[in-house]
Amino acid sequence: MLEVNRHENIEILSYSEVKKVEGYVGNYIITVEKKSRYINNDCNGCGACSEVCPIYTSNYFDENLGVRKAIDIAFGQAVPFLYDINRDVCVECFSCVEACELEAIDFSQVPEEVTFNVGTIIIATGWDIYEPYGEYGYGKFENVIQQAQLERILAPNGPLEGHVHRISDTKKPKEIVFIQCVGSRNTERPYCSGVCCMLSLKNGKLLKQEFPEANITICYIDMRTNEKGFEEYYQRAKNSDIRMIRGKVGEITEDPETKNVNIRVYSSLTDEIIKISADLVVLSTAALPSKGTEQIAKVLNLDVDTNGFLTEAHFGLMPQETNTKGIFIAGFAQGPKDIAYSVSQARAAASKVAELTAPGKIDIELIIAEVYKELCISCKRCEKACPKNAIKVVRDEGAVVDEINCDGCGICVTCCPTQAIDIRYYRDYQLFTEIDGILGGG
């Protein structure tokens, strides 16, 4: 990240949001809102302001397991390394203002809009984690957490400095249970999140290293380990005495005295009901399209699938392209995938961008829709049917075709009630002439 930030041709606009995009491939006009940190760029990250701040709040980066000050750094490796103020909890005591020798704190700061031109766009908006409140005791039982929280607990810079203990009483867990597919592979979210199986295996092995005597169980529907080397990793996990139970958990309760979590799970392989009294339960929850994915889809008028992920032009042949020329997608924004797949998609999207930007000029095949103005009745059927958003009905002008974004698919031709639209080089008389020539030549 530091290397990216130092690159002369890369500008990072962190803590910002894309508000509007206009134009077409080669000439997109982007409007971005830079949100207020209430800290200016004079900040050198010394931390004097945070030391004197009296207000503590939950730390979103640590999945709300730790605390941060009302004025604090987002996380230890943040780029750029600037503090920000959470005005929702700040009491405006101005202790930070007095402590800052560089006068970098500015409570009068307001959001700023910047506009710039780009030739192409890559969308990589990531994913959000499903919070299963009300399921398996999450949010109700203290010792039920989800995988993202366990990741922060295991991290050396996390709230527990990498040492795991029970949330309720800080004791070392002796019985740990992972429950897979929480909130996914059901009628509401039928897709597999793609990363949970390997994540549980990895974290199970880490916990086994820290607590060799602990019993670790993974309750799963199917163990999906289809990438290179994953099956071997799965076998090594089983050989390290991690118990695998193929079945869904049917009942989960809490012992009010010990805070242990009592689990009943049916094993479809052994045809038995297994009871476990767990010290710690970890839920592998569904991966959701991020809120940023939903927002950018509205801003760019892009298609999404039934699950909310961005839709590619063609899954097999054009997996990075969208239906708008010059806009590409990569990573979890397009659908669930692991790190290796996301990296390969990002590289593919970058190569697609290079194809358009490297030459300086590109040739576009002008097989596009054309409108006969005298026949157009401005019914807007073509505008609604166009998958590329390349037709707009303008008052007093009728339908207007964006020659850059139109790819001549012909959908508008089929829906026009007055035959006011035709495809250049594919007009009816041209096709009939071609057919007559073929038949006459036979």
| Local mean pLDDT, 10-residue blocks, the chain (442 residues) | 88 94 89 95 93 95 93 90 94 96 94 94 95 94 96 92 90 95 94 94 94 95 91 92 93 94 94 95 96 94 93 89 91 94 94 83 81 93 88 91 87 93 84 86 60
Give helix 230-239 / helix 196-210 axis angle, nearest 10°: 40
Residue-level pLDDT at 19: 95
Cβ pair 105, 38 in contact under 8 A = yes
128-287: CATH architecture: 3-Layer(bba) Sandwich (3.50)
Q: How far does CA 196 lie from the centroid of its chain?
A: 15
Please state whether the peptide bond connecting residue 190 to the residue before it is cis, i.e. omega within 30 degrees of 0.
no
Return the number of other C-beta atoms located less than 10 Å from residue 75's C-beta: 12
Cβ pair 78, 34 in contact under 8 A = no
CA angle (160 as vertex; 178, 81 as ends), nearest 5: 115
**Distance in angstroms (rounded) separating the CA atoms of residues 196 and 309:** 18
For the chain, give me the number of helices (H) and strands (E)?
Answer: 11, 23
Residue-level pLDDT at 442: 54
Residue-level pLDDT at 222: 93
CA angle (273 as vertex; 267, 277 as ends), nearest 5: 105
- Any idea which fold 369-441 has? Alpha-Beta Plaits (3.30.70)
pTM exceeding the 0.75 threshold for the entire prediction: yes
CA separation (Å) from 37 to 18, 26, 72, 85, 182?
17, 32, 10, 6, 36
User: Which residues make beta-bridge pairs with 72?
Assistant: 84
- CATH 3.50.50.60 maps onto the chain at 128-287
- CATH 3.30.70.20 maps onto the chain at 369-441
